[in-house]
Structure 1
Amino acid sequence: MLKTGGGDLEEIRGFISEIKDTEQATVEQAAQETSSANEQFEIRLSAKPLPDATAHYAATIINRLEVTSLNDTSTSITSVKVNRGNCPVGGGENYKNMQYGTVAEIIIRCDARQVREVTLTTSSGEYTYNFNGQ
């Protein structure tokens, strides 16, 4: 772990602030869906520090993909690809039998600011969402 001195703490705070700004921009930005299937999802990216971060150690950042179902019928996500498979995907929660408004949280193992494309697969088809790089 990286020990911080007086100036390093400000650098970490700046980094966390930059992550928050990136997350807000991602939320405000509409992801463009390219699919011919009829299911709909809302995609958000977030990068949050673990709550137990202290001033003595650099904050550990957890990057997550949040997928909200906008479907009236139950649907399950069977596969997730980020950046065409170039960003490893970790475990997730709530991605099976998703009702309208259900949020699936999936850990991604790359910087959330670098995500350009997310592809979700369900039994009804494949959905690709593109994000503008900012």
Structure 2
Amino acid sequence: MRELRDNLIALDPLNKNHIVKVNQAEAEFWKKSEGYRVGWSDEILGFDCGGQQWVSETCFPAGKLATPSMKDLEYIEELKKLIEKQEIPAPAPIEQRWTASTRSPMSPASSPSEDDIFSW
């Protein structure tokens, strides 16, 4: 799947309509691939990252574990609006993750509060 996706994107990587079609085909592939299985966690939780990726990584506070600020969802909504408004050919998916705080001062998720959460 990864090589096919990369090859399809490479045909016209700056054409928004082409990328939309590739994204739709990939979404349909994953929809048809869904299901249930039992096995070791490292076999089930691992996944194919989907080939080449265009990465712009950010990290920001997303509130407290008990009271999320919803800034993470607002960020993604604004990002999607920008992509659509500017007609940016953005290959899917947009990946978003969350993490607990760390006391490591070099980390963008550094916080003295153990209850703080961050979105990546």
TM-score (norm 2): 0.29
Larger relative contact order, structure 1 or 2 (CA cutoff 8 Å, min sep 6): 2
More helix by share: 2
